[in-house]
Amino acid sequence: MTENEQYSTRGAYVTGGAEFTRDTNYIEDRIVADPEATRALPAPPPSKVGSLGFGLSAGAEAWPVEAGRYRLVAANACPWANRTVIVRRLLGLEDAISLGRPGPVHDVRSWTFDLEGTTLNVGDVDPVLGTARLQQNYFKRFPDYPRGITVPAIVEVSSGEVVTNDYPQITLDFSTEWREFHREGAPDLLPGLGTGSGELEEMWPVITRIFTEVNNGVYRCGFAGSQDAYEAAYARLWEALDWLEERLATRRYLMGGTITEADVRLFTTLTRFDPVYHGHFKTNRNRLIEMEHLWGYARDLFQTPGFGDTTDFVQIKRHYYVTHEDINPTGIVPAGPELENWLDPHDRERLGGEPFGDGTPPPEVREEERIAAGHNPLVPA
């Protein structure tokens, strides 16, 4: 048996006859501004979208916020990782938290820090952590770690040990616990926090529905193990997308006139919809570009600094079509669709509002973090 056969992902995603159920058990440690105060807060209720105003889950640890201590490991290909990169950039945390980017393809073991363009996804190490596989950083802390090696993950640089991979909570903590290191003019992605205005109370069911029915809904379609499971997932997904299409007909962003955490969470699914989910995951009632308001909204965000400039369409397609051997055993990556239409005018300004509210857009992407030329219509070949 070859190494490729030994570590194949076949059977890792699709279970015959069953509905796909995401494992949402993560390392729930948190990096917080005041560990002692956080430990004194009540434990959070069960949640798949994170929580605000609570302390630690049972068994979790609190780590102190400290610039330069941690590295965010976030693959361009992964939607959950992509949203941590967007929030980090919007808030201006680049100096405080460094960024490591695994390649787009992995086997059943782990994401790897591969050289761009290498056929077998091998040949490099992370320049800061010195590891070739993210698995090594998980095993440094938990030698018998029993779950999947997921991104995003935050790793302590000095020890090389994973701190957390609790992606729903990571972006919330970037907004709340890392405020000392936010750039001047950073947007308020959690409007109304601590004011009692009710804005967050309105946002919470929106992001919950986006996660269960859209972010995870496309996977429920793609990894369905039976026709019945697929058709049920398909119906749920399109009911939610139709709800979003109606919601966005009268408001520029999900919560009104400025971008919020909710928009970040939806955006990374929308960018992957036509290139991947429509065909690969069989979510093919229609394409995103055929939905007037969702498509205009997606383009509006894509053309906003922090969103499109963190999107790597080449790596996105390569990840899904090569890694998911259950669904695409040939590993052939489709040539289309054309992507230049992401830069077409969106006309969403007519709905009013400003993406950053009273804040300002982030500065230009740092050279070392730019998406490769040709991987994104903002960066032509």
pLDDT, tens only, 80-100: 999 999 999 999 999 999 999
pLDDT at residue 198 in the model = 78
**Low pLDDT (below 70) residues in the chain:** 1-18, 20-24, 115-123, 196
Of the residues 26, 138, 167, 219, which is catalytic?
Answer: 219
Of the residues 70, 78, 167, 320, which is catalytic?
Answer: 78
d(C-alpha 82, C-alpha 303), whole Å: 16
State the Rg of the chain over Cα.
20
DSSP secondary structure code for residue 350 in this structure? G
Backbone angles phi, psi at 31, to 5 degrees: -105, 115
d(C-alpha 190, C-alpha 188), whole Å: 5
d(C-alpha 381, C-alpha 376), whole Å: 9
Do residues 324 and 13 make contact, with C-beta atoms less than 8 angstroms apart? yes
* Paired tokens of 256: 């009104």
pLDDT at residue 12 in the model = 55
Question: What's this model's pTM, rounded to 2 decimal places?
Answer: 0.94
Give the three-class secondary structure for 292.
helix
Residues 104-136: tens digit of each pLDDT: 988 777 899 876 544 444 568 898 999 999 999
Give the three-class secondary structure for 179.
helix
d(C-alpha 266, C-alpha 245), whole Å: 12
- Residue 221 is among the residues annotated as catalytic for this protein: no
